Chains A and B, each alone.
Chain A
Amino acid sequence: MLIDSFLLLSAAGFNLRDYRYTGLGATYFVDFILFHKLLGINRMCSAEHDLGAAKRVIFNKPFDCIEIVMDKIGNVIPSLDQQLKHILWLDYDFQIDGEVITDIKLAGAYLTEGSIFLITVDVGNEAKEFNRPEEIHNYFLDQAGAFLGSMHSTDDFTKAQLPRINTEIINRAIKSGLSGRNLKFIPLYHFLYADGHQMLTIGGIIGGLKTKRTLTRSGIFKNFYIRQDLDGDPYEIRVPKLSRKERQYLDSMMPATGKQKECAFELPLQDIEAYKEIYRFMPVYAELLL
């Protein structure tokens, strides 16, 4: 979906090929591979804070154009080139904490106009000591006290509310980082999906009225997965469990804009509807026996 919207942005005049991508590639670099191959981005930087994994990270680097910086991402953001536009993805696989909030604020302060900012956090903490509203409330008071806004009551801090709580904190942290600049965060992405844990991704563009106008012209806001504000529900990515043969069968009927044909096998209607939305963006994985 990100790539789909990035292609729309490129067509609308956001010259993403000249952007610099900064992310947390770890040892897989999936995002780097996609952005380089599909968007043609050549300026890339991956921050890795685990000094003990330096050789492994460098070994796994898929392209020569990726610069590996062995440092925390928060130490890398202040050195983002102010002459370039950036795509910055803070793709954390843990839940939000004080340090993450500072990273978000820094992104707001340093990203140049027209830059794309994405942040992913874990909102499905299953730990025993993170269960009762009091425990969740205390955690957020400790880690994000200044960014809780009007969420004062412990009743606001239930597990089901974690995506909302995180969204509000992230939104406030971005605004706080942007304060003093004549720029705004224009939301585009507000995804909720399960990747083992429930994950939340928020993203958008740093810009002013001109950027907003260009975005409107691009038609990006008409996409079903785009969210123009963060107050509503996120777009929940639901991936139905299907066999390869089932997928091929369903694909043969896509995009299925007209009258729905009857499915040849038992499949709940909501799974078919979910598949219709995401089949274009779903990667196909296959196991290869060598």
Chain B
Amino acid sequence: MQQKYASAKPRKQFFVQMFTRDISLEDCILDLIDNSFDSLIKVSDLDLSAGSLIPTATARKDRHIKLPSIEVSFNKQFVDPSDFSGKPGTSITISKLHPEIQMRIEEGTLQRSLERTISQAYTLFLDEKARVLLNDKEVTSSLVRFGESNAISFGKQSFRFNGISVDLYAGLAEMEKNDWETAKAGWYVICNGRVVVAANKDQITGWGADDGLPIWHTKYRLFLGLAFFNSDSPELLPWTTSKRGLNRESSVFIQARTRMIGISRPVISFLNNMYKSDPAESLPEREIARQVKAVEHQDLVKRPESSFKASPKRTKKTTKRILYEAEERDIERIKRRLLKPKMTNGEVGRRTFDYFLENECPE
């Protein structure tokens, strides 16, 4: 039989497609923005520890992020060092767009999607340290802050692992517009100042995992968790190459994840107590939760390690529940007698109880 061979030559086209199609449009644009933030960190000498982003006096060295080597073509004028005149900065114009990209831009939702992504990813830089303009509109920070009061304080834990410092915080979020927003609740994972996972409520941060926190529920919308990973060697951080996701297999993240679950559990216990089946039993928790005031992010770093604490003032319950069955015919007779046929059965019970109390047991 004549042997035939299949071609095993690598198709260059595959790699071109991988680069151009497997990375979303938002991620491509964010990568460019990230280069700018990287420069900002280098020139401003920002301290990224515990997410405080406070300028420090000590010089930090070698904070560059290793980018994959990509060859691009450009004209000679671009690389001419004598051409650095006028305003600083680089302007990139992309004119030949893929038809799919053209469609995405024309479809109309890109602006909002990009705005939200940039606002989340660089939330710790925006407003104070940097401005990002998107079609001349400034992107504002979507920073979520912890809420605290005399009766509630958030938990904090720190550890170091192979050149990476990890600071974990979990507690209640600040209240906005008299409530807590579900969309903002969950875990935020921040690597060297960039938010790589925002408001996460799934298994990657322990929610609904066999070994972790309960499945997400709206009663947990008060929950806020921040996990800061910082390193002078960015390649050690548990982020993906796009800096927009987590590397679940990273040793430091595996260790941090268990601790994230641990530091969250007292908060979850508190929130479970806050939403019991009998709302009257949850009043002390609800009362102290509504009294929390926002904590500024730069204050987080100063806090010593501690666990989440909440001390609801529990007053002794003085009421008891009475539950009994009565003949429907008799209940209807009472309603007719009271000339209130639409009265509920519970109201009949209350009314007859009050009547007996007033007439048979005067104080």
Interface, chain A (partner B; CB < 8 A):
71-72, 74-75, 77-79, 82, 98, 101-102, 105-106, 108-110, 144-147, 173, 176-177, 179-181
Contacts and interface: CB of A to CB of B under 8 A. Distances in A.
B262 A110 contact: yes
A147 B210 contact: yes
A171 to B, nearest CB: 14
A75 B265 contact: yes
Interface stretch (B28-36, B43-51, B251-259, B340-348): B251-259
Nearest to A108: B258
24 contacts: A71-B269, A72-B265, A74-B262, A75-B269, A78-B157, A78-B259, A78-B263, A78-B265, A98-B210, A101-B211, A102-B212, A102-B261, A106-B261, A109-B255, A109-B258, A109-B259, A109-B262, A110-B262, A146-B211, A147-B210, A177-B258, A179-B254, A180-B252, A180-B254
B306 interface: yes
A141 to B, nearest CB: 10
A68 to B, nearest CB: 16
Interface in B295-323: 306-307
Contacts of B252: 180
A74 B269 CA distance: 10
A72 B269 contact: yes
A146 B211 CA distance: 8
A105 to B, nearest CB: 6
B44 to A, nearest CB: 32
A78 B210 contact: no
Interface residues of B, number: 24
Which 6 pairs from chain A and chain B are nearest by CB?
A180-B255, A78-B262, A146-B210, A109-B258, A180-B254, A79-B307
B19 interface: no
Interface of B: 155, 157, 159, 161, 209-212, 251-256, 258-259, 261-263, 265-266, 269, 306-307
Nearest to B258: A109
A75 B266 CA distance: 5
Contacts of B155: 78
Contact of A110 (B210, B253, B259, B269): B259
Contacts of A145: 210
B211 A176 contact: yes
Contacts of B261: 102, 105-106
B284 to A, nearest CB: 12
Given A105-B211, A145-B210, A179-B254, A75 B307 contact: yes
Contacts of A74: 262, 265
Contacts of B251: 179-180
A109 to B, nearest CB: 4
A256 B323 CA distance: 67
Contacts of A102: 211-212, 261, 265
Nearest to A101: B211
A109 B259 CA distance: 7
A108 B306 CA distance: 19
Contacts of A71: 266, 269
A181 to B, nearest CB: 6
A36 B131 CA distance: 61
Contact of B255 (A72, A101, A181): A181
A106 B269 contact: no
A67 to B, nearest CB: 14
A144 B258 contact: no
Contacts of A101: 210-211
Contacts of B306: 79
A90 to B, nearest CB: 14
A179 B210 contact: no
A79 B262 CA distance: 9
Nearest to A181: B255
B262 A106 contact: yes
A218 to B, nearest CB: 29
A72 B211 CA distance: 16
A142 B149 CA distance: 38
A144 B210 CA distance: 6
A105 B258 CA distance: 7
A176 B211 CA distance: 9
Contacts of B262: 74, 77-78, 106, 109-110
Contacts of B161: 180
A179 B306 CA distance: 23
A122 B209 CA distance: 24
